[in-house]
Structure 1
Amino acid sequence: MRPTTGGGVALRAAVARLERELAGHRAFLPDRAVAEEELAELDRQASGTPAPEQLRQSLLLVAAALGSVSRLAAPVAALREAVEQELVRQPARSAQARPQRPRC
């Protein structure tokens, strides 16, 4: 059982839900392994202080791998919301991670 205290609780819950739903979806998915790897990565990130760009990258890969599967739409949406919550929870770090656009 994963710990659910401290930061990342919503992210851990969303990852666990999507992992369960994906395990129950027995149909062939060409990018299932990618999704499973990125879900594991998101779970690791939730236990620490994840870098915003890593969160975004993992979410993008999961969404690309599973986004077309209607049965997984709700858990993918919940994962997206959890990532957004995590990004809001770390506003100073988000600002540092984004490259500044040159001013014209």
Structure 2
Amino acid sequence: MVKDVAARAAVDDDGTLDPRVSALRAAVARCRRELAGYRGNLPDRHIAEDELSALAAAADAGVPDVPRLRRGLLVIAGALGSVSALAGALTEVRRAIELFGTPRPR
């Protein structure tokens, strides 16, 4: 039931998907593709892949939890280090997450 509410919240009144969710899905998909194509040695590749999968699932569920998105971004950035070949894709993920604004105070 909660997932249905979140999924509906991601759809505008006219039935179109929230553009922030669309941007996040596209950014995560790009990062996943570029990571899969990167043949260099990345000791924490599996961590980045797992976290990208989690971000994709969050986007598929509707409007995601902003603090969770930000933590995921930090995990991915830490796992990828400073690999310049993946910097553009990671920047796109960061920008997509920023579209959701700042997290609410706890």
Equivalent residue number for residue 83 of structure 1: 97
**CA root-mean-square deviation:** 1.4
Q: TM-score, normalised by structure 1?
A: 0.78
Q: Does 1:35 align with 2:48?
A: yes
1:67 to partner: Cα distance: 3.6
Percent sequence identity over aligned pairs: 49
Matched length: 88
Distance 2:95 2:22 in 1: 12
Distance 1:49 1:23 in 2: 26
1:24 to partner: Cα distance: 0.6
Distance 1:68 1:38 in 2: 17
Equivalent residue number for residue 45 of structure 1: 58
Partner of 1:21, secondary structure, is helix
AA partner of residue 82 (structure 1): A
Equivalent residue number for residue 102 of structure 1: none
1:52 to partner: Cα distance: 1.2
Equivalent residue number for residue 9 of structure 1: 22
Identify unmatched segments of 5+ residues in structure 1.
Answer: 100-104
User: What do residues 77-103 of structure 1 show as CA deviations (whole Å, max 9, x unaligned)?
Assistant: 111000101x23xx7xx32xx23xxxx
Contact 1:22–1:72, Cα closer than 8 Å, also in 2: yes
AA partner of residue 55 (structure 2): L
Distance 1:13 1:50 in 2: 15
Q: Does 1:68 align with 2:79?
A: no
Q: TM-score, normalised by structure 2?
A: 0.77
